[in-house]
Amino acid sequence: MLVKFYIKPRKGVLDPQGRAVAENLRSLGFSDVKDVKVGKYIEVYIEENDREKAIEKAKEMARKALVNEIIEDYEFEVVE
């Protein structure tokens, strides 16, 4: 199965990369850009056919290795 993780800075946490991208887009003429957040997109392919087990593993991976929950928010989905 494939697990897709979408990770982004929590609301209120400084996101200098997002700010830089927003400024860059505006300077390129995209004047209606209000805000940008830059995070991580991670795909994890696991040998696991049970969907429920894959979901449990995904949560554990996020907590133990992929996400810093103090400063990051995340969502994930299991596909295939």
- Per CB under 8 A, residues contacting a second copy are 4, 6-8, 21-22, 24-25, 28, 30, 32-48, 57, 60-61, 64-66
| Residue among 44, 19, 1, 65 nearest 9 (CA) | 19
Q: Rounded to the nearest whole angstrom, what is the least distance from the CB of residue 70 to a second copy in the complex?
A: 18
- Rounded distance between C-alpha atoms, residue 44 and residue 53, angstroms: 14
Q: Rounded to the nearest whole angstrom, what is the least distance from the CB of residue 47 to a second copy in the complex?
A: 4
Question: 58 or 70, CB closer to a second copy?
Answer: 58
Pairing relationship of beta strands 2-9 and 72-79 according to DSSP bridges: antiparallel
